[in-house]
Structure 1
Amino acid sequence: MAGIRDRTPLWVQTRCGLEPRTLTALAMVLVVAVGLAAGYFWTGRPEPVRAPELVRAAPATALPAGWAGPEQEARQETGPPPAPPVSLAPPVSPAPSGAEVVVDVGGKVRRPGVLTLPAGSRVADALRAAGGVRSGADLTGINRARVLADGEQVLVDVPGVPAGGSGPGPGSGGGAGGTAGGGAPGTPVSLNTATVEQLDTLPGVGPVLAQHIIDHRTEHGGFRSVGELREVSGIGERRFADLEPLVRP
């Protein structure tokens, strides 16, 4: 301590009146201060920083087949909505409003003449509109369920007319005493009134094809033109060309 005192400047010795204890305390304070300063600088020194490791994305987990999320699962649990009922019946096209047919009813009926009936009327409706048939009239061969065609003639028990004979209006030579079914040689056969036997007499037409013509006539309410004969199953262009001059609506 004497060495430290000797090295201390004179003004310090004079000012502080250094004693051995004082010098010891001062030395300890200096040592502590130096230690703290050294620790502060040691902790504040720059340190190397390591770069962060790359985090790889987790592989996508394959979803099980058929899984479509919670909403789809809930929909599958409740089941699909019921399908609307399907109607197997073909749509029926109603007759246009105000459509009419004009027919000539003659023979043994109470009020023969030209009648105007709603479209889709049948032979029975025409007979009823004519006042009904007379007592003793022969209705054999008359198809009272047949749908009427516009402009045709319905004859009841007229001598010289084939059974069930009916045909176009008087202007076509189908009146009383005429041949409405094409019975006379050279007279075209009426597609709307001919029977299966009469159609069977046409070239290339047998009983089966004749029945097809009758079925088509009943289904479509008669033939309005000879060209509609092409729509009958079994009649091609060549057969139609042979039949065209031999038939009429």
Structure 2
Amino acid sequence: MGNWLDQNKAIVVGALALLSAALGGFFFFTNRVAEPPPLEIAAPEPTLTLTPTVIAEADLPTSTPEPTNTPHPLRVYISGEVVAPDVYILPPRSIIKDLLLAAGGATQKADLDIVNQAEELKDQQHIHIPAKEEARPTPPVSSGGKDPQPTSGPDTQSSPIEPDAPSGRIININTAKTTELELLPGIGPSFAKRIVEYRETNGNFNAIEDITGVKGIGPATFEKLKDHITVN
């Protein structure tokens, strides 16, 4: 054994030196403190500055509202055979029927057969509701003996009363024109036009009673007409 060590002393010393170096390197690297990475300072980002823009009032679009035509209420006076004759204020586009309701309705003596209740009212208008026995004016008779002609149409704004037929004259409702029909009691321009239109649509009247088929002509109006009309 002693001879072997003596012979291999150099080898043993070299091996021990290598082992010591290896152990020293191991402990050196395991105990080494890791250095922190270098800090990087980022450059500041550029900022955007907003400048407010002032808009002058003259640059703003302006709009002027268009004026609107507001209809005014109607002031209408009603007289005659109604419960409360007076001046009434009604909404625009009111009709005679609305005025009758505002006045409390018609009395029992009222002759509503000759009143066009669907007629539209006008401002400052006068509506008169006649009685059934109320006398109606007759058109004047010319001195030359000719058939009387109405001097003017009925005033539809002041009264719905129509002119009466002249005494003793009989009008043929199958051939008469509107101007002749207007001479009949209770028949104004509107009813005369309806009679002609009815005649053109349905043919001639076969009997005087057939005139009650015209819209608006009822039994009460027929009683006033029967002595003044004929179909022959």
TM-score by length of 1: 0.30
Whose helix fraction is larger, Structure 1's or Structure 2's? 1
**TM-score, normalised by the number of residues in structure 2:** 0.32
